[in-house]
Amino acid sequence: MQILVVNAGSSSLKVKVLELASQKVLYSELIEHIGESGSIVQNHEQALNTLEMDFNTIDIVGHRVVHGGEKFSNAVLIDEDVMQTIRSLIPLAALHNPANLQGIELMQKLLPHTPQYAVFDTAFHTTLQKEAYLYALPYELYEKHHIRRYGFHGTSHKYLLQEAAKHLEKKLESTNLITLHLGNGESICAIKNGKSIDISMGFTPLEGLIMGSRSGDIDAEIVLFMQNSLGLSANEVDIILNKKSGLIGICGENDVREILIRDDERAKLAIDIMVRRIQKYIGSYLVLLGGNVDALVFSGGIGEHSQIIREKILDNAMFKDIKTFVIETDEELEIAKECFALIKSAK
């Protein structure tokens, strides 16, 4: 059985074809800068047309969908109801869900008779308890407007859990981990007995760790100060927080490889601030897990490839006895596995 995994982002399209039995990747393509000035690919339909693959061999399609709200805790077969729910979540994921929907609609047009599934980035974190997902805001903001922590990168954290459990030779339901997805986007997850109990990303992917261009945690008053005292518009603040902050904000660069070879104060500061925030989260998740952690798992471009950053993070007496793993994440394989599990359970 061949599955086509589609990850349609706001300006990118990532596709992979996997053979389910062997988990072999038969085709893989990433098209970036869609719709950007100077790009020859102006929309996702054009991007699809550039793919040099045979769609006739595809048995099922699995779509990555960023926001599943509180509803989806597992992969689902896409029907009109599911489409409507993903649409209704656009206010919570204005950047991602519209692009994901577009990917689904294009594939439905191209392969109208092929079953299509959605796998949500938020799904793995639907196990969070109220004390973990509620913000201390007026309760009706949660009840009426669904303002709560959702958490993202769930497909990656779930994959890391399964791989780490294999290395540990433990059952998922008795595995406790702290998983770190450190790439351009960064998140850290506390996993207790195989379930996500806390995640650094929140209502949006902005919260938590210091990322390539996102600020992570800041005092919410800073947003009001930028608007009321500095006269910035909501849109300008949004761009500052998501595109001009994080490592870029501190040292003008978001590629950790480049930052590490620089020898200036700002570059050093950017790394120190990022590492300190990660350590702070590991410490707090250790407490949430009662000190009972089977392993720390590093993943994502930085977590997988930068020994220097891993060493800096682990340079703390609190972490010295914890086992660590470096595991290459594979969100597409996880999406494929989840779609397959759903098909099997339906039979």
| Pairing outcome for strands 186-192 and 177-182 | antiparallel
Q: What angle do CA 183, 21, 340 make, to 5 degrees?
A: 70
User: What type of residue sits at position 209?
Assistant: L
CB 313, CB 275: distance < 8 Å = yes
User: What type of residue sits at position 1?
Assistant: M
Closest contact distance (angstroms) between CB of 13 and ligand ADP is: 14
Q: Mask of contacts with ligand ADP, 298-327, x by CB under 6 A?
A: --xxx--xx---------------------
Q: State which residue, 68 or 183, has the beta carbon closest to ligand ADP.
A: 183
d(CA 101, CA 158): 23
d(CA 300, CA 303): 5
Q: Mask of contacts with ligand ADP, 190-229, x by CB under 6 A?
A: ----------------------x-----------------
145, 257, 280, 323: which one contacts ligand ADP (CB under 6 A)? 257
Q: State which residue, 175 or 254, has the beta carbon closest to ligand ADP.
A: 254
d(CA 199, CA 312): 22
Q: State which residue, 244 or 305, has the beta carbon closest to ligand ADP.
A: 305
Q: Does 267 bind ligand ADP (CB under 6 A)?
A: no
Q: What is the dihedral of CA 134, 138, 144, 146, to 10 degrees?
A: -30
Stretch that binds ligand ADP, among 39-47, 64-72, 169-177, 294-302 (CB under 6 A): 294-302
Q: State which residue, 54 or 328, has the beta carbon closest to ligand ADP.
A: 328
Q: State which residue, 9 or 194, has the beta carbon closest to ligand ADP.
A: 9
121 belongs to the catalytic site: yes
Catalytic-role residue among 81, 121, 263, 264: 121
165, 256, 274, 286: which one contacts ligand ADP (CB under 6 A)? 256
d(CA 303, CA 274): 12
Closest contact distance (angstroms) between CB of 170 and ligand ADP is: 26
Closest contact distance (angstroms) between CB of 274 and ligand ADP is: 10
Q: Of 148-187, which residues contact ligand ADP (CB under 6 A)?
A: 183-185
Closest contact distance (angstroms) between CB of 308 and ligand ADP is: 7
Q: State which residue, 127 or 299, has the beta carbon closest to ligand ADP.
A: 299
Can you name the residues that pair with 180 across neighbouring β-strands? 188, 298
d(CA 262, CA 271): 11
d(CA 270, CA 272): 6
Closest contact distance (angstroms) between CB of 118 and ligand ADP is: 20
d(CA 60, CA 340): 9
Q: Of 85-144, which residues contact ligand ADP (CB under 6 A)?
A: none
36, 70, 143, 255: which one contacts ligand ADP (CB under 6 A)? 255
Provide the terminal-to-terminal Cα distance of the chain, rounded to the nearest Å.
15
Q: Which residue in 274, 284, 148 sits closest to 211, CA to CA? A: 274
CB 324, CB 295: distance < 8 Å = yes
Note the residues at the interface with ligand ADP (CB under 6 A): 183-185, 212, 254-257, 300-302, 305-306
Give the active site residues.
121
